[in-house]
Amino acid sequence: MNKQIHFKSALILITTVICLSCNSNTGTSSKTISENPFESQVDSILGLMTLEEKIGQLNLPVSGDITTGQARSSNIAKKIEEGKVGGLFNIKSVEKIKEVQKIAVEKSRLGIPLIFGMDVIHGYETTFPIPLGLSASWDMELIEKTAQIAAKEATADGINWTFSPMVDISRDARWGRVSEGSGEDAYYGSQVAKAMVRGYQQEDLTANHTLMSCVKHFALYGASEAGRDYNTVDMSRIRMYNEYFPPYKAAIDEGVGSVMASFNEIDGVPATGNKWLLTDVLRDDWNFEGFIVTDYTGIHEMIAHGVGDEYQVTSQALKAGIDMDMAGDSPDTKGAFAKVLKASLEKGLVDIADIDRAVKRILTAKYQLGLFDDPYKYCDTERAKTEIFTQEHKAFARKVSAESMVLLKNENNVLPLEKSGTIALVGPLANTAVNMAGTWSVATNQKASNPLLDGLKTVVGDNATILYAKGSNVDYDLDYEKRVTMFGKDIPRDERTDKQLLDEALAVANKSDVIIAAIGESAELSGESSSVTNLQIPQVQKDLLNALLETGKPVVLVLFTGRPLAIVEENENVPAILNVWFPGSEAGLAISDVLFGDVNPSGKLTATFPMNVGQVPIFYNQKNTGRPLGNKEGKFQKFKSNYIDVRNEPLYPFGYGLSYTTFEYANLKLDKTSVPMDGKINISVEVTNSGNYDGKEVIQLYIRDLIGSVTRPVKELKGFQKVFIEKGETKTVRFTLSVEDLKFYNYDLEFIAEPGDFEVFIGTNSDACLKSKFVLTN
């Protein structure tokens, strides 16, 4: 007992010292620390710890069974008391977290506070568009602010660590998790990664409104074969470095506090046990000094990967660089730090130094968060009442959602609609609050999201009549429907027959001046473990859409989706298509803002939409090949690199998105045609708003390095600006390229720029561009 008090006071003493150093650090950047300011405190604690307590710090169990009142008696509570838990995740509510933290701080021998993680992916209770949608805003300030708001809300509710951003580049729409990332481009993904990390961590990680960020899933998870989740990845190093690694590295350079290892293998070794990846690249080359957590049961899964038994996989993971084991300590797992690390040590498979190193990193993170200073600093019940899902946050969510929507087609200016007459709203996605947040929205207040029907009614008020019919279920197949509407995101199956549903919809449509069809994917049709082999809208909804088109009334397709879809038929037949992704808490209002022109759409795709699933993987920055197609129209040519049955071009290219106004590009100018290695080149272009609405345009700059020591892509994004231009106005938009922008990893994985000819393109998307050129000289 006395001993216990002694240990506790040792800790209190230590924390006082730290508190002073925290304060003096306030306002300094959270960027990677090269000298650990907490080293002596961490070492002192380490000296007090038993082996069991050390292993306990590496253990991140699921918190599923903890609810207020139960915590004390639950199995996990007992483990916390024994010092066998380092943190918990996905536990929601400040009361529950406070109660659990109390157990750690007051009941465990050393009183080491727990870290509380959560998948705060696109907002907390105030939910923003799914990440793929958010990325379509091309607005880094806005994206950063969404992370800031998420951090404010999550920390007000007791959370201090988020498993975000997810920066996996993906070029495969079959993969359901394409919805969780920022699309296909490494340069663009890097900008988003930085904005998210900045937003979560801000200037001071010890502040009580900032979250420690965890970049994931390291690495290459988005390149799983055939788009099947958790599948094998096999990739050349040169592609990794040039096309997949940059966003992870950008997050590291921005000072991200932690990294999550991915489920897939790399070069035949699961990422979780891959020393080259986690130590040689991440720590030695990129200087990452934070801690590395596995993904859910990642260590245990190495047994199924086939690299060894539980002793082998745990020791391999630890030695590779893993610090914390997520959900390893679950009833049905064997390969878990908590279960076998002690035995692995006894068997000589790991050294105590390996364990100590991991413990130190986790304790350091807890110091960085200020948890030793005040373990309850994120447990302010007053904040939880006033800072979550506020009017201000909701208003911001409405704005962000509208900014993320992409106008895919607008024939004869069907959009924007008038707030008058009779409007039919039809479709299974029209009146479902719980689907609006989309996938990976653990903390969202699902029922409080506004569905399109409510939003429309609010926005038109008494000016127009809204008639609603569901029109169809999500899918003809009930089993399939269940699989894509889980986790509380159900769209209750309508017991009426398909014909009855359709008849009702047609009756409503026939009474109306215009039809809005709210169709597409349900929220769980994308996300984790939601891979598909068919990129079409479910057939029952296609049939509904076709029937609506046959009425001859103008139809606007409001497309809900978590992935690029092959909507070729819809693109041919429906006059207006607005892609709204899953827009978040304020979905209905935000969609209505765009439909009626209160907001002019300005979103642009960050992932190519294919013509069909057979084109996948498809992306704009492909290589030329030795047999490129010789015509721009995409006409088939024998013995060239193309398909017999479909052209090479996608349905909508990367960067594509329309506006209610039109923009014209002219006078692409370079201030020089020859640039030395240490020089810069200034590039400008005039963009005129030639249409009838004020609007924002995302001006995109691409380059092509024409000759390289290794083959180079036909286009690479190197800059973008989102600019507001009034109707009739012309703005000159300027970019500067330096040699840094021209660098790439060569055959020997050196990051270099090579002298030679470059082309520059500026335009409204990756396909439609003005073109010029310059030479990089030695």
Give the binding site for ligand BGC (CB under 6 A).
Answer: 90, 119, 163, 216, 295-296, 528
Q: What single letter denotes the amino acid at residue 556?
A: V
Helix (H) or strand (E) holding 738: strand 730-738
HEC string of 308-324 equals CCHHHHHHHHHHHCCCE
Tell me the Ramachandran region of residue 427: left when phi exceeds 0, alpha when psi lies from -120 to 50, beta otherwise.
left
The encoded tokens of residue 267 equal 């070069």
- Residue with Cβ nearer ligand BGC (174 or 360): 174
DSSP state of 481: H
Cα separation, 486 vs 482, whole angstroms = 6
Closer by beta carbon to ligand BGC, 130 or else 423: 130
Helix (H, G, I), strand (E, B) or coil at 776: strand
Provide, rounded to whole angstroms, the least separation between the CB of residue 292 and ligand BGC.
13
| 260/536 Cα distance (integer angstroms) | 32
The smaller minimum CB distance to ligand BGC, of residues 247 and 471, is found at 247
Least gap, CB of 597 to ligand BGC (angstroms): 38
Burial of 543 per CB tally in 10 Å (0-12, 13-18, 19+): middle
The Cα-based distances of 534 to 163, 330, 356, 498, 525 in angstroms read 29, 35, 48, 22, 11
To the nearest whole angstrom, how small is the minimum distance from the Cβ of residue 221 to ligand BGC? 8
Contact of 433 with 451, CB cutoff 8 Å: yes
Q: Which is nearer to ligand BGC, 288 or 296 (CB)?
A: 296
The residue among 765, 775, 770, 697 whose CA lies nearest residue 730 is 697
- Tell me if residue 295 is catalytic: yes
CA dist 248 → 7, 196, 251, 522, 609 (Å): 39, 12, 5, 29, 24
CB of 732 to ligand BGC, least distance (A): 43
C-beta closer to ligand BGC: residue 163 or 745: 163
DSSP string, 642-678: S-SSS-SS-SB-TT--B-SS-EEEEEEEES-SEEETT
Of residues 89 and 468, the one with the C-beta less far from ligand BGC = 89
Q: Is 683 helix (H, G, I), strand (E, B) or coil?
A: strand
Location of structure tokens 């989102």: 722
Residue 163 Cβ vs ligand BGC, minimum distance, rounded to whole Å: 4
In angstroms, give the least distance from the CB of 287 to ligand BGC: 24
126, 132, 122: which is closest to 579 by C-alpha? 132
Closer by beta carbon to ligand BGC, 265 or else 528:
528
Q: Residue 469 half-sphere exposure, CB side, CA atoms within 13 Å?
A: 25
- Which of 216/383 has CB closer to ligand BGC? 216
CA distance 463 to 422: 9
DSSP class of residue 166 equals B
Position with the least CB separation from ligand BGC: 163
Our CA angle for 357, 232, 334, nearest 5°, is 50
Closest to ligand BGC by CB, 439 or 659: 439
Block residue for tokens 């950008």: 250
Give 230 or 376: the residue with its C-beta nearer to ligand BGC: 230
Q: Are residues 699 and 683 in contact, defined by beta-carbon separation less than 8 angstroms?
A: no
For the bound state, the minimum distance from the C-beta of residue 556 to ligand BGC, rounded and expressed in Å, comes to 34
> Please, which residues have CB within 8 angstroms of residue 323's CB and are 6 or more apart in sequence?
58, 291, 292, 293, 357, 358, 361, 362
Question: Rounded to 5 degrees, what are φ and ψ at 348?
Answer: 80, 15
Tell me how far CA of residue 5 lies from CA of 9, 46, 168, 475, in angstroms.
Answer: 6, 17, 47, 62
- CB closer to ligand BGC out of 120 and 407: 120
For tokens 């049939």, the residue is 543
CB of 135 to ligand BGC, least distance (A): 17
DSSP state of 688: E
Residues in the chain: 778
Encoded amino acid at 153, one letter: E
Q: Which is nearer to ligand BGC, 163 or 367 (by Cβ)?
A: 163
Catalytic residue among 295, 323, 325, 373: 295
Q: Least separation, in Å, of the C-beta of 330 and ligand BGC?
A: 12
Distance CA 426, CA 151 (A): 36
In angstroms, give the least distance from the CB of 114 to ligand BGC. Answer: 16
Residue (327 or 464) nearer to ligand BGC, CB: 327
- Residue 183 near residue 619, CB atoms below 8 Å: no
713 contacts 703 by C-beta, under 8 angstroms: no
Closest approach of Cβ 441 to ligand BGC, in Å? Answer: 12
Residue with tokens 């390893």: 328
* Closest distance to ligand BGC from the beta carbon of 605 (Å): 23
Distance in Å, CB of 404 to ligand BGC, minimum: 21
Edge-to-edge strand list for the sheet holding 212-218: 87-89, 115-118, 161-162, 212-218, 258-261, 291-293
Q: 213 with 200: CB under 8 angstroms?
A: yes
Catalytic residue annotation: 295
